[in-house]
Amino acid sequence: MDCHVKDLNLAEEGLKRIEWAEMDMPVLRQIRERFAKEKPLKGKRISACLHVTTETANLVITLKEGGAEVYLTASNPLSTQDDVAAALVKYFDIPVFAIRGEDRETYYEHLRTVIEKEPDIVIDDGADLISTLHKEYPQLAEKVLGGMEETTTGVIRLRAMAEQGVLKFPIIAVNDAYTKHMFDNRYGTGQSTIDGILRATNRLIAGSYFVVAGYGWCGKGVAWRARGMGAIVIVTEVDPIKALEARMDGFLVMPMSEAAKLGDFFVTVTGNIHVIRKEHFEVMKDGAIVANSGHFNVEIDISALEEMAVEKREIRKEVTEYKLSDGRRIYLLAEGRLVNLAAAEGHPASVMDMSFSNQALSAEYIAKNPNSLENKVYRVPREIDEEVARLKLKSLNIQIDELTEEQKKYLSSWEIGT
Ligand code: XFA
């Protein structure tokens, strides 16, 4: 088969891990069963550029069950799991072009390889595939029915393309689906961040002061989970509405300058730069643990810490000890990179299940409505978002009420007053 993976002998290990993830992806499983019967993607070629993980494997297997001819390349050279790539090739006949640690040149070569398959539908994570397709293969871009984008960063790039009028096919921004970011940001980041901190430090959270910088979707997730483990949680915010929300949710709210004096753990999830900086390190307690779970490793001013430190050593895996001139020690996790990826395993499979179910249903939507969309960036259709929630509820064996005819009429009429 035309493919490029590290070692096919890894396939058996990869298969086991794909099956383990599948066990916790009940929504995608239900979609896969329907796809196997209805074959909604029959005759469609799909090129996907995603992190090559066990969860992604389950997505591409689902698309193939739906009748598509699928090609997979990596969206990041460092996230590829070589055993998964091997298993997809060996056991599922899905061509994969991804090797962990591949250089930039190979990465783009792989992108070009899946573009040259002349896809009808593309799936992207970060928009590298779609932007290369537009820049280097304009005539192939014309033939694409539509695409999906997984992340915020990618959606921003694609919106810029749409605004400049250069986008050659419609995009569905899977990132914007409610069922995606509710799980991804709140439950995924919430749990995996705590998981990373625990694996790195093995400290007890109960009874500690746990400072969460930022009370967006991710901050809420981390704050609620820290509380669940018995911490006294402090939230810092710059937005008065979010700060008020945090207070009304029962958290302590104060400026970082105050929180810095109290905290045993610090997690940044703001999306902003230098949220924890020199003035904060100066007042922290001996032994404070500082970690980042925001998208970029800029939230902690590491160079300030470097300058303040008189000694520095890796005391444990993913834990750097900075000794300050007065003897206090501050512990930075994962060098300020995303602690849930560096010290844990990223999102659990059931979180990716929601995101990838939106991907699978969006692919079906594009296949079934090829000419109804303009070359713009769309939100995931409400019906798809609701269908993902419905299938998740079904997997949890939860039933809910339906509107009665009387209620539907009541809600849709304006004549009935008080
Ligand atoms: C690696 C993901 C990124 C892996 C891959 C290998 C390993 C662990 C890098 C990723 C994303 Cl940037 O997956 C995780 Cl050993 N994910 C998504 C993910 N997280 N994201 C936490 O797990 C979401 C996100 C991030 C980080 C959004 C915006 C900015 C940063 C892909 C994936 N994860 C499931 C892995 N389960 C084992 O499939």
CATH code where residue 193 lies: 3.40.50.720
In a domain, 414, yes or no: no
For the chain, the domain total comes to: 2
pLDDT at 295: 84
Please tell me whether residues 29 and 98 are part of one structural domain: yes
Please tell me whether residues 140 and 237 are part of one structural domain: no
Ligand 1 pocket, residue 352 CB under 6 Å: yes
Contact 31, 361 (CB under 8 A): yes
pLDDT at 303: 97
| Ligand 1, atom 30: closest residue by C-alpha | 295
Radius of gyration of the chain, Cα coordinates, nearest whole angstrom? 23
Please tell me whether residues 239 and 329 are part of one structural domain: yes
What residues make up the domain containing 101?
8-180+348-395
Q: Which of residues 315, 342, 369 is at a domain's end? A: 342
Ligand 1 pocket, residue 201 CB under 6 Å: no
Please tell me whether residues 269 and 373 are part of one structural domain: no
Q: How far is the CA of 346 from the centre of ligand 1 (A)?
A: 5
In a domain, 206, yes or no: yes
Point out the residues of the chain with pLDDT beneath 50: none
Q: How far is the CA of 74 from the centre of ligand 1 (A)?
A: 12
Pocket test for ligand 1, best of 53, 72, 123 (most atoms within 8 A of CB): 53
Ligand 1 pocket, residue 62 CB under 6 Å: no
pLDDT at 416: 66
pLDDT at 417: 67
Please tell me whether residues 354 and 338 are part of one structural domain: no
Q: How far is the CA of 110 from the centre of ligand 1 (A)?
A: 20
Q: How far is the CA of 391 from the centre of ligand 1 (A)?
A: 23
Express each pLDDT in 383-404 by its tens digit: 999 999 999 999 999 999 999 9
The CATH number of the domain where 104 resides is what? 3.40.50.1480
Q: How far is the CA of 168 from the centre of ligand 1 (A)?
A: 29
| Ligand 1, atom 21: closest residue by C-alpha | 346
Q: What is the 3-state secondary structure (H, E, C) of the chain?
A: CCCECCCHHHHHHHHHHHHHHHHCCHHHHHHHHHHHHHCCCCCCEEEEEECCCHHHHHHHHHHHHCCCEEEEEECCCCCCCHHHHHHHHHHHCCCEECCCCCCHHHHHHHHHHHHCCCCCEEEECCCHHHHHHHHHCHHHHHHCCEEEECCHHHHHHHHHHHHCCCCCCCEEEHHHCHHHHHHHHHHHHHHHHHHHHHHHHCCCCCCCEEEEECCCHHHHHHHHHHHHCCCEEEEECCCHHHHHHHHHCCCEECCHHHHHHHCCEEEECCCCCCCECHHHHCCCCCCEEEEECCCCCCCECHHHHHHHEEEEEEEECCEEEEEECCCCEEEEEHHHCEHHHHCCCCCCHHHHHHHHHHHHHHHHHHHHCCCCCCCCEEECCHHHHHHHHHHHHHHCCCCCCCCCHHHHHHHHCCCCCC
Closest CA to 91 of 57, 67, 132, 59: 57
pLDDT at 296: 84
Ligand 1 pocket, residue 151 CB under 6 Å: yes
Ligand 1 pocket, residue 100 CB under 6 Å: no
Q: Which of residues 342, 357, 379 is at a domain's end? A: 342
Please tell me whether residues 129 and 263 are part of one structural domain: no
pLDDT at 366: 97
Q: How far is the CA of 349 from the centre of ligand 1 (A)?
A: 10
Ligand 1 pocket, residue 55 CB under 6 Å: yes
How far apart (Å, rounded) are the C-alpha atoms in residues 216 and 183? Answer: 13
The residue whose two tokens read 């483990």 is 229
| Ligand 1, atom 22: closest residue by C-alpha | 346
| Ligand 1, atom 14: closest residue by C-alpha | 346
Record the tokens describing residue 258, joined without a space.
């105050």
Please tell me whether residues 227 and 332 are part of one structural domain: yes
